[in-house]
């Protein structure tokens, strides 16, 4: 019977805390870039001009379909040679997850925009609004409200995906945990503790999102998935 | 100076990559089948009125949906062997991590699908004197499975992508072979691009098929 | 009947959707102050005709002149002369030709006042305070001066449609188009909207109204058009067309829709 001993894990708390902070930092950065890039991709995808639509479609499909770990390896190992730049794990991970999450956000945006009923578009046009004014004043405000739950769900997915950065030695919580496990020879306690931390954070976020969804459903707003 | 692409080393080592592809497929099929089977059991338990079945199933689902799969794989590979008298192979760790994660998602898909069948179907079947199990088997599940198909294929595609995580524990799948090749031939650009292309070519038709299924179901349902 | 020059001159207007030709050559002069009721069976093209007048649909062929200026640019397409309608020009036209929809199409994320102001602020770029007082005046005109702060979700159908009318009025349009404004309303709410439309007519505004309400058409319009299969089959004063139609099909249509004796 294995004797559980978390003391060495407790001793490494600030080491692990640094990892958690880095996980949040990476998630935050990816969101910061991913959301606006996603919006841009969505608008390009909806554009009647083929030279905008096709590249956006390609980027979205490539980054949604290829496994994120391959994307990360490509950005970390391949890109620096291709464009002759220094690459750090943080930069590679941020680049990868920004674009990858943007591809998914683009689809959420697009579904939200398309879900705004035709009559709204017509009313805006009938007032003499330009397409940009129409999007900005009428369509996007309504689309955004519906997309919030799907957004938050995607953001939670993103937090889970950032663990991949540990494979290129980004010092996130998982990477730090692995270090602690090897140093203290207590992999069971280390990984269990970390799994619990991830669970608490992600489950907590999930619960918040679900209660938000319920609140939105009650107020009569349709919701996009 | 522009980089000169050279896929020659990649083509010469196709057999290495093929071994990896076999590993990927093996892992994928195993996780898919186990995930679907276990997911059905958990989904039915989740749907049950009995607290003894419902609560543990709910805990299972929440636990495995809300922890990152990579963390689970590493836990099974590094942590579990401490509790057990035997080693856990890379394949076993990957299967445990991915299949359990998948089953949690499948369980919710099953539950959602079953719940989406209106009461009228239940009542009509029960009025004929069918038992609960018979109603489930003959009336509800067949209809629910049709509706769940898009969600199933989406999850299947996710599982296929997740097989790459097994490279973190050195399981011999496509990405793992790619890593070896890239470090051997010093050509990460071509190698990883080639692997990305392979995944894209395999999955793109599946994704399109999923859209088509969703459209067809949207029309007839 | 007004003898001043037409504010709207439509010649040979045709509109097809793919293979399906809806309008097959409409000729019409609209004079300032005209109140035109457009009648016809479903599929006759009356909504399409209306939607061509503010270019929500681009005409397939034919010409539309607004206050003496033809809308659109002549151009060549594979050797045949055609007309292109640049979106920027259509946007400007729509500021001069207002439309009220069957489904109201109010912006749900804005209050009634904000809805009415929206055109002035965003399209005309007027300062907010000026737009707000103008919007309030329009809301008062349609009898909803106290409802400016309410969101569309909290308004009845009749109130929503009146706000929609106020929103169109705020743009000071030269022409007002109404696309079956009461068809989506519960019967008891129809009256309040028709009263507003009637009062606008009494002010001398130029209005075109697609409607099924024959009784209202009789009281409101100075000209009535009857559309069949994409052409104007018959046209005349309400007294003449509604009471003594000349065409057989007009007679048959009126018989089917006779709810009011007038």
CATH number at residue B112: 1.10.3720.10
Q: What is the CATH number of the domain that holds A143?
A: 1.10.3720.10
Residues of A in contact with B200 (CB under 8 A): 62, 65-66
User: With an 8 Å Cβ cutoff, are C56 and A220 in contact?
Assistant: no
The pLDDT value recorded for residue B221 is 44
B199 occurs within a structural domain: no
C261 occurs within a structural domain: no
A224 occurs within a structural domain: no
The boundaries of the domain holding residue A182 are: 7-218
The pLDDT value recorded for residue A164 is 95
The minimum CA-CA distance between A82 and chain B, rounded to whole Å, is 6
The pLDDT value recorded for residue A1 is 61
Average pLDDT over chain C reads 90
**pTM for the predicted model, two decimal places:** 0.79
B1 occurs within a structural domain: no
Structural contact between residues C121 and C131, judged by C-beta atoms closer than 8 angstroms: yes
Per-residue HEC secondary structure of chain C comes to: CCCCCCCEEEEEEEEEECCEEEEEEEEEEECCCCEEEEEECCCCCHHHHHHHHCCCCCCCEEEEEECCEECCEEEEECCEEEEECCHHHHHHHHHHEEEECCCCCCCCCCCHHHHHHHHHHHHCCCCHHHHHHHHHHHHHHCCCHHHCCCCHHHCCHHHHHHHHHHHHHCCCCCEEEEECCCCCCCHHHHHHHHHHHHHHHHCCCEEEEECCCHHHHHHHCCEEEEEECCEEEEEECHHHHCCCCCCHHHHHHHHHCCCCCC
The Cα–Cα gap between B39 and B45 comes to: 10
Could you read off the pLDDT tens digit of each residue along chain B, which spans 221 residues?
567 888 888 888 899 999 999 999 999 999 999 999 999 999 989 888 888 889 999 999 999 999 999 999 999 999 999 888 888 999 999 999 999 999 999 999 988 888 888 777 777 777 777 777 877 787 777 788 888 888 899 999 999 999 999 999 999 999 999 999 998 888 899 999 999 999 999 999 999 988 888 888 765 54
Residues B78-108: b if buried by 16+ CB within 10 A, e if exposed: bbbbeeeeeebebbbbbbbbbbbbbbbbbbb
Q: Which residue in A4, A60, A3, A2 sits closest to A196, CA to CA?
A: A4
Q: What is the ipTM of this complex?
A: 0.88
Residues of A in contact with C101 (CB under 8 A): 119, 122-123, 126
Summarize the confidence of residues C160-167 as an average pLDDT: 95
The minimum CA-CA distance between A42 and chain C, rounded to whole Å, is 22
Burial class (CB in 10 A: 0-12, 13-18, 19+), C208: buried
What is the DSSP secondary structure assignment for residue B197, as one 8-state letter? H
User: With an 8 Å Cβ cutoff, are A163 and B192 in contact?
Assistant: no
The residues of chain A scoring below 50 in pLDDT are 223-225
The pLDDT value recorded for residue B119 is 74
Summarize the confidence of residues C106-111 as an average pLDDT: 90
The pLDDT value recorded for residue C258 is 72
The pLDDT value recorded for residue A178 is 92
Select the residue of A119, A128, A141 nearest C119 (Cβ to Cβ): A128
The pLDDT value recorded for residue A213 is 82
CA of A133: which chain C residue's CA is closest?
Answer: C122
Domains identified in chain C, total number: 1
The pLDDT value recorded for residue B85 is 87
C261 pLDDT exceeds 60? no
Structural contact between residues C66 and C224, judged by C-beta atoms closer than 8 angstroms: no
CA of B190: which chain A residue's CA is closest?
Answer: A78
The pLDDT value recorded for residue B219 is 59
The boundaries of the domain holding residue C91 are: 8-256
CA of B192: which chain A residue's CA is closest?
Answer: A74
Domains identified in chain B, total number: 1
C2 occurs within a structural domain: no
C153 occurs within a structural domain: yes
The pLDDT value recorded for residue C1 is 47
The minimum CA-CA distance between C231 and chain A, rounded to whole Å, is 25
The pLDDT value recorded for residue C233 is 92
Q: What is the CATH number of the domain that holds C147?
A: 3.40.50.300
The pLDDT value recorded for residue A29 is 95
The boundaries of the domain holding residue B59 are: 23-174
A223 occurs within a structural domain: no
User: What is the share, in percent, of chain C residues with pLDDT greater than 70?
Assistant: 97
What is the DSSP secondary structure assignment for residue B49, as one 8-state letter? S
B166 occurs within a structural domain: yes
**A·B CB contacts under 8 A:** 117
DSSP SS3 for A115: helix
Residues A159-171: b if buried by 16+ CB within 10 A, e if exposed: bbbbbbbbbbebb
Domains identified in chain A, total number: 1
């Amino acid at each position: 019977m294995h004797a559980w001993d978390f003391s060495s894990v407790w001793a490494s708390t600030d080491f692990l805390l640094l990892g958690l902070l880095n996980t949040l930092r990476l998630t935050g950065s990816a969101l910061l870039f991913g959301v606006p890039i996603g919006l841009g991709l969505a608008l390009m995808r909806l554009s009647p001009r083929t030279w905008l639509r096709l590249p956006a479609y390609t980027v979205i499909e490539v980054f949604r379909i290829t496994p994120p770990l391959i994307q990360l390896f490509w950005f970390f190992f391949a890109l620096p040679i291709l464009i002759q730049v220094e690459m750090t794990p943080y930069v590679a991970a941020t680049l990868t997850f920004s674009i990858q999450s943007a591809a998914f956000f683009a689809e959420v945006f697009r579904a939200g925009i398309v879900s705004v009923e035709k009559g709204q578009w017509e009313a805006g046009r009938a007032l003499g609004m330009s397409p940009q004014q129409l999007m900005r004043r009428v369509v996007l405000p309504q689309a955004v409200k519906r997309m919030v739950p799907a957004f938050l769900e995607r953001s939670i997915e993103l937090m889970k995906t950032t663990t991949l950065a540990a494979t290129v030695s980004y010092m996130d919580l998982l990477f730090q945990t692995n270090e602690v496990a090897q140093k203290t020879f207590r992999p069971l306690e280390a990984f269990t503790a970390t799994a619990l931390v991830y669970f608490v954070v992600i489950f907590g976020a999930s619960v918040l999102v679900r209660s938000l969804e319920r609140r939105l459903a009650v107020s009569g707003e349709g919701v996009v998935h | 100076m522009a980089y000169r692409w050279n896929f020659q080393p990649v083509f010469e080592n196709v057999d290495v990559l093929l071994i990896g592809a076999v590993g990927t497929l093996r892992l994928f099929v195993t996780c898919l089948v186990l995930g679907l089977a276990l997911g059905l059991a958990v989904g039915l338990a989740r749907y049950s009125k009995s607290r003894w079945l419902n609560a543990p199933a709910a805990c299972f689902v929440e636990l495995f949906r809300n922890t990152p799969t990579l963390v689970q794989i590493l836990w099974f590979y590094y942590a579990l062997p401490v509790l057990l008298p035997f080693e856990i192979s890379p394949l076993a760790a990957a299967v445990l991590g991915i299949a359990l994660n998948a089953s949690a998602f499948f369980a919710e898909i099953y539950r959602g699908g079953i719940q989406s069948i209106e009461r009228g179907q239940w009542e009509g079947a029960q009025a004929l004197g069918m038992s609960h199990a018979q109603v489930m088997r003959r009336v509800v599940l067949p209809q629910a499975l049709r509706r769940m198909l898009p969600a199933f294929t989406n999850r299947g595609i996710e599982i296929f992508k997740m097989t790459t995580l097994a490279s973190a524990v050195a399981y011999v799948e496509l990405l793992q072979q790619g890593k070896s090749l890239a470090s051997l031939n010093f050509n990460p650009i071509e190698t990883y691009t080639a692997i990305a292309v392979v995944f894209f070519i395999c999955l793109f038709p599946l994704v399109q098929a999923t859209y088509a299924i969703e459209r067809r179901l949207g029309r007839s349902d | 009947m007004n003898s001043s020059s037409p504010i709207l001159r439509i010649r040979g207007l045709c509109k097809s959707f793919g293979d399906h030709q809806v309008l097959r050559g409409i000729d019409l002069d609209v004079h300032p102050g005209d109140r035109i009721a457009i009648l016809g069976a479903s599929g006759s093209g009356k909504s399409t005709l209306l939607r061509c007048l503010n270019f929500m649909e681009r005409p397939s062929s034919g010409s539309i002149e607004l206050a003496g200026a033809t809308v659109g640019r002549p151009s060549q397409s594979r050797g045949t002369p055609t007309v292109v309608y640049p979106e920027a020009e259509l946007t400007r036209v729509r500021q001069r030709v207002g439309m009220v929809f069957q489904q109201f199409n109010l912006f749900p994320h804005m209050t009634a006042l904000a809805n009415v102001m929206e055109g002035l602020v965003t399209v005309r770029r007027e300062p907010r305070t000026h737009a707000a007082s103008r919007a309030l005046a329009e809301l008062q005109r349609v009898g909803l001066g106290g409802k400016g702060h309410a969101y569309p979700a909290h308004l009845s159908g009749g109130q929503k449609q009146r706000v929609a009318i106020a929103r169109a009025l705020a743009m000071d349009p030269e022409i007002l188009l109404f696309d079956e404004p009461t068809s989506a309303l519960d019967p008891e709410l129809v009256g309040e909207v028709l009263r507003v439309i009637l009062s606008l007519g009494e002010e001398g505004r130029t209005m075109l109204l697609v409607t099924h309400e024959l009784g209202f058409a009789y009281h409101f319009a100075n000209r009535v058009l009857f559309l069949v299969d994409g052409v104007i089959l018959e046209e005349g004063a309400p007294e003449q067309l509604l009471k003594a139609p000349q065409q057989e099909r007009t007679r048959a249509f009126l018989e089917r829709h006779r709810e009011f004796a007038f």
